[in-house]
Each structure stands twice: as C-alpha cells, then as structure tokens.
C-alpha cells in the first residue's frame, strides 16, 4: 500500500508541473471506439478483432513446473481468435446516448455454473463450447457537459494501461501484454455507475461497481478470474470503487493514474465458507504513453494487495470439486511492470509513396509475479516469478489495421525452463460503418 501511495504522490506532483504547459494542451487522444462515437450525432457501427498464430518452443505438459527436470524439451502450436468485438452506438439527442460491445473470445461460448438446492447445494455445469460470448459494454449515458457525464450499465474498469487501451492497435504484442492480463481482469468490465469528464489536458473517471469474487482467485492469476461470474447473474453482496485520471498537457505524452478498492470474500453463493472475512482488494497503477516524432513508448507499473489472503486460500481449498474455484493458494501482494518502445523505420525514407503507412520496430521488457508476497503460512511458487523479453514489428498499412510479428522469451529462475515463442497476428480496430 505504501508503494501505491507513492505512485499517487509522484503523479500528482508531475501533473501540477505539466499544467503549466497550457499552450500544448491536447484533446483526449484515447482511441477507444466508445469515445470516438462522441463525434457522431446518431448511429455508429464498428469494433475490433484479432487473429493469432503461435509456435511455442516448450512443452505444454501441465507438470512442467512441478517437475521441470522432466520437461526440458517439447513444442506446440496454436491458432486463435483472441477477441472479436462488434460495437454499436446510438445518440438519442438531448445528451442521451447508448453504447454496446459484444465480444467473442476464442470463437466460442462459455460455461454456466449453478447450485442445485435440491441436490444438497452441489455445483452443476452446462458446457456448450470452448471460448466465450459476452457483453463487454452496454451502457446508457447522460451528458451534461464535456466535464460532467453519468454512465450506467456494463462498463470498462479503466485500471492499468491495457484495460484503458485494450484494442489490438494500442499495444505492440500479438496478444495483450501478459504482465497485466495474467494477474488482473483484462478486459475488465463490470456493471455499475460511472461519472467521467474531461477538460483541457485532463480526463477523469470514478465508478461504483460490484466487488470481485474471491472464490475464483488463484496462485497463477491472482484476482484475474474474480470479475467473470460463473452464474447467470453477477453477485453484488459487496461493492467496490475504481478511479482514473489522465493528463495530456505535454505534447505527445499521456500519463495516467488508476486505482481500485473493494471487498471480495462475500461475493459468492457460499458466503458461509468465508465467515466474516472481507478479502479487501487494493490496486494502484501508473502508466504512460509517448507518441511523437515517429517514436512510440509505453510503460506501466501495477501493485496489488489482497487482505485475508491466507484465510481465503484455506477456504478455497475446501470448496467442492465441482466448484469454479481453482482451489489454490492466493498471494497477498503482486507486482507487475513493463516498458516497450518502437520506432517507425519508414521515416528514414521520406519519399515513401504512402506516408500514412507505419512500420514500427520494437522491443519489450517486463516483469510480473502473481505471488510476489504471501502470508508467512504460504510457500510461494517459484514459477510465478517471470520476466518477459520480446522484439518484433508492427506494420500499419492504415491506422485501423496492423500486421504483427514477434519473438518472445518468458524467463524463469532456476530450476524452471525458459519459454520462447514466435507469434504472428493481424488485427483491426475502428469504425467501419455509420
């Protein structure tokens, strides 16, 4: 928590200095489709989508971390449609607007869990097909002014860099940066109430949403699974709050600070298993993007804390086998950070026939540990401590379309084996009809 407070302090100090440069104040450069829709008075249609091909030069055996000496060799491959999203927006007039995004993850549908009271409270499942179809966003908004907007419905939780800027044209890697997406929900969307606005050089947002479900936490992904309900409804026995503020005062630079706080232990159908635990989740993140003079740099640092982590771990291990809980230990603290930088090498050719094309050569370096700190009664897993090193290209034949190629090395401490991979992808994002 001390680190989170330090993040807030330094960003506040920087922002006060940055506002002096009013002459360079920019409009909100966020490219989220929902924000782009504000420019059109009526109906808009658009979305984004990704196709990925990967070859991993390591085994996918589930025991490769348990017995690393037995699984030094191996390889496997995958084709995937990570995310395909269809977006629609309609402006009713008089400041009222509706927006929706339906997301197809991995080209399929999901699994529904329910508890049958007639069967002594046992969990039952219906499995239809791998993957997921879900509403990523569905909200109705009333705009009073550019600096005062109220939004109610299913909303993106803008904590961290990737959640706020999650379209495939907004990160270099073929898949979303795993330093964030492996430990917090991504894209994180919840039903609730949001107040947001923007002024010269600033954008701000605060929201009230349902808390996470501690039953879904685990050692490999911390709270990542806690936002996706396995039921036909979202349990909201406890609430949470999230906030974000961004500054654009310096030309080409955006700096953002975001945070989250909420209780998680009672947002389950099995409340009695958690007794009077709170399971308070606290997250603080600082991120920045610089995009000017053919240079594109992104960076993010995130720290998270879970209260009652030992008691939650013990309760989850006692869940029935049919429970959606992974039933593993959960860390008290996590740490994640990364920085990536790219340069448009087509800028070296001033006579290039189409100057709207961009070809970024980039490098990425990051770190995350989903068990950065644990209760004294929990032994951390060494394989959760990972460094991510990657390099590749992003070719933009136009701003809405990108072709990606990268080499990635996931590095571990001994005795675990490193995990190299090659990935290729193509993606689009934007408004393609109105």
CA angle, 260 as apex, 84 and 374 as ends, to 5°?
100
Over residues 63-112, the pLDDT tens digits come to 999 999 999 999 999 999 999 999 999 999 999 999 999 998 887 666 66
Name the nearest CA neighbour of 312 among 270, 357, 251, 257: 270
* Cβ(242)–Cβ(158) below 8 Å: yes
What is the domain count for the chain?
A: 1
Predicted local confidence at residue 28, as pLDDT: 38
* Cβ(191)–Cβ(156) below 8 Å: no
CATH of residue 384:
2.40.160.10
**DSSP output for 384-418:** GEEEEEEEEEEEEEETTEEEEEEEEEEEE-TTSPP
DSSP label of 241: E
Predicted local confidence at residue 8, as pLDDT: 40
Give 37's Cβ-side CA count (13 Å radius): 24
As separate numbers, helices (DSSP H) first and strands (DSSP E) second, the chain gives: 5, 19
What residues make up the domain containing 178?
A: 2-433
Query: Given its phi and psi angles, is residue 308 left (phi above 0), alpha (psi -120 to 50 degrees) or beta?
Result: left
pLDDT along the chain (434 residues), means of 10: 42 39 38 44 88 96 93 94 93 94 80 55 56 84 97 96 95 97 94 96 97 94 90 88 97 97 90 89 98 96 97 92 87 98 92 81 98 95 97 95 98 96 96 65
Find the length of the chain.
434
């Amino acid at each position: 928590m001390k680190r989170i407070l330090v993040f807030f302090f330094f960003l506040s100090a920087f922002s006060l200095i940055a506002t002096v440069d009013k002459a360079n104040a920019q409009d909100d450069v966020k490219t989220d489709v929902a924000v782009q829709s504000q420019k059109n008075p009526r109906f808009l249609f658009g979305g984004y989508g990704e196709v990925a091909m990967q070859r991993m030069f390591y085994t996918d055996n589930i025991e490769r971390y348990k017995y690393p000496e037995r699984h030094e060799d191996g390889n496997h491959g995958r084709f995937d449609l990570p995310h395909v999203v269809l977006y629609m927006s309609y402006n009713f007039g008089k400041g009222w607007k509706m927006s929706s995004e339906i997301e197809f993850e991995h080209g399929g549908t999901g699994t529904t869990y329910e508890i049958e009271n007639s069967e002594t409270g046992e969990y039952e499942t219906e499995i239809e097909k791998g993957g997921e179809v879900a509403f990523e966003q569905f909200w109705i908004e009333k705009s009073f002014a550019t600096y005062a907007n109220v939004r109610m419905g299913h909303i993106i939780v803008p904590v961290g860099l990737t959640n706020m800027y999650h379209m495939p044209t907004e990160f270099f890697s073929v898949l979303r940066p795993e330093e964030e997406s492996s430990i917090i929900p991504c894209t994180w969307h919840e039903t609730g109430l949001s107040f947001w606005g923007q002024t010269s050089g600033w954008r701000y947002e605060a929201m009230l949403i349902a808390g996470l479900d501690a039953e879904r936490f685990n050692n490999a992904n911390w709270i990542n699974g806690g936002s996706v309900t396995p039921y036909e409804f979202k349990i909201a026995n406890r609430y949470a709050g999230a906030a974000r503020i961004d500054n654009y005062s310096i030309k080409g630079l955006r700096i953002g600070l975001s945070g989250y706080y909420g209780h998680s232990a009672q947002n389950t159908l099995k409340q009695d298993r958690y007794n009077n635990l709170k399971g308070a989740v606290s997250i603080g993140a600082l991120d920045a993007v610089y995009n000017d003079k053919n240079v594109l740099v992104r960076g993010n640092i995130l720290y998270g804390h879970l209260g009652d982590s030992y008691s939650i771990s013990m309760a989850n291990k006692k869940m029935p086998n049919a429970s959606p809980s992974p039933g593993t230990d959960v860390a008290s603290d996590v740490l994640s950070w990364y920085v990536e930088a790219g340069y448009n090498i087509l800028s070296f050719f001033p006579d290039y026939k189409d100057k709207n094309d961009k070809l970024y050569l980039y490098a990425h370096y990051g770190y995350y540990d989903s068990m950065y700190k644990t209760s004294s009664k929990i032994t951390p897993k060494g394989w959760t401590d990972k460094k991510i090193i990657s390099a590749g290209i992003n070719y933009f034949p136009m701003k809405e379309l990108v072709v990606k190629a990268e080499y990635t090395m996931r590095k571990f401490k001994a005795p675990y084996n490193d995990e190299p991979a090659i990935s290729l992808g193509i993606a689009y994002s934007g408004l393609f009809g109105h």
